[in-house]
Amino acid sequence: MEENNPTNITHRFRKTGRRDYWKIAAIIFAGLLILSVYQGEIFTGLSTADAGDKAIEYINTNLLINEKAELKGIVEENGLYKLSIAINSQELPYPLFITKNGKILIAGQTFDTAEVLPMQETQTVPKSDKPVVELYLMSFCPYGNKAEATMYPVYQLLKDKVEWKIHYIVSVDGTTVNSLHGQPEVDQDIREVCVKRDYGMDAFWKFMTYVNDNCGSNGACWEDAAKAAGADANKIKECLIKDGITLMKAEAEASSTAGASGSPTLIINGVKTNSVYSYGQSDTYKETICNAFNTAPSTCSTKLSSSSSTASSGAAAGCGTS
């Protein structure tokens, strides 16, 4: 298992059925580069303005769904044009590249800009009287933590108007629980499930938020978090020892059934949504959920503020198990 590379823009872009990420893309591009050098094409051609326009047009037409890319800057570097772009006004923390002739775009994988990719059918989130919101996480995944911080104001706003299901991405082999960030994460996953089960969703969000904000990547001060959430630390310890394996087996089954292998994964009324990557934009989360109501409650008109600290870096990334 390994964390997804935050420089892989295909986290944000729709699936193209290809798995040639940066290293493979570099090999492919090296071959194309050699061929193009012999053809005398790759280092000449479009102006920066025209190359930038071509890249953005290709990205918006072929690679994004319900999102918009815009060019923030373009410079020449090592015989290529290096692009700085933003998606939905959030600037990506890594560059893209396009050849000077505008024929090859490098964005986590290589794209032939003359190729029109087949349109992918989009799944519309169905509406319901009480939307079911499922959030799949790893307790010490930094991107999952960003999603939690972004979702918390939405939870506080909508509370029981929504059916909330928070699950943890783990695997269980006999009596051994595995999670991407090791045993400290397994223990914290269990503690958070215990708090949710025994003290309810309000206490769960308080407990989880306190740990994220104060306890580091090993949850060292989780007992302080329990106190802040009105939970009994000794009862949580007892739950971990007695019920931990059983609880994690249920979490593993839930995440497997949902096809959730990356933290965070957001599913609304049975449909995955990429709005989960809009870290720091609580109002985007709120709008996505509110659009899933048959009749949205009046609280949906409340504007939620954004958090620049939550949105910083890795805006399109996550922690993955494959």
- Paired strand residues for 86: 70, 91
- Could you give the domains of the chain? 9-112 (no CATH), 132-320 (3.40.30.10)
CA distance 79 to 42: 8
Mean pLDDT in runs of 10 for the chain (322 residues)? 37 42 45 49 76 91 76 90 84 83 82 75 84 97 93 98 97 93 95 98 98 94 98 98 98 95 93 89 95 98 80 49 50
Arithmetic mean of pLDDT over the chain: 83
- The CA–CA distances, whole Å, from 308 to 282, 305, 316 equal 11, 10, 15
Distance CA 156, CA 274 (A): 22
The answer to whether residues 149 and 229 touch, using CB atoms and an 8 Å cutoff, is no
Please report the pLDDT score of residue 10 as a whole number: 43
Q: Write the CB contacts of 309 (distance below 8 Å, at least 6 apart in sequence).
A: 280
Q: According to the model, what pLDDT value does residue 88 have?
A: 73
pLDDT of residue 15: 42
Interval 273-321: pLDDT, tens = 988 988 899 999 999 999 999 999 999 999 998 875 555 333 345 676 5
φ and ψ at 36, to 5 degrees? -70, -35
pLDDT score of 217: 87
Give the Cα separation of 322 and 320 in Å (integer): 6
Let me know: does 119 contact 151? Beta carbons within 8 Å. no
Q: Identify whether 264 is preceded by a cis peptide bond (ω within 30 of 0).
A: yes
Q: How many angstroms separate the CA atoms of 190 and 173, rounded?
A: 16
Kindly tell me the burial class for residue 28, based on how many C-beta atoms sit within 10 Å of its own C-beta (0-12, 13-18, 19 or more).
middle
Q: What is the DSSP string of 71-84?
A: EEEEEEETTEEEEE
- Report the 10 Å Cβ neighbour count for 303: 7
Per-residue confidence (pLDDT) for residue 44, from 0 to 100: 63
What pLDDT score was predicted for residue 65?
A: 63
Instruction: Report how far apart, in Å, the C-alpha atoms of 111 and of each of 11, 24, 68, 114, 119 are.
Output: 15, 13, 18, 9, 15
Q: What is the pLDDT of residue 310?
A: 55
Radius of gyration of the chain (CA): 22
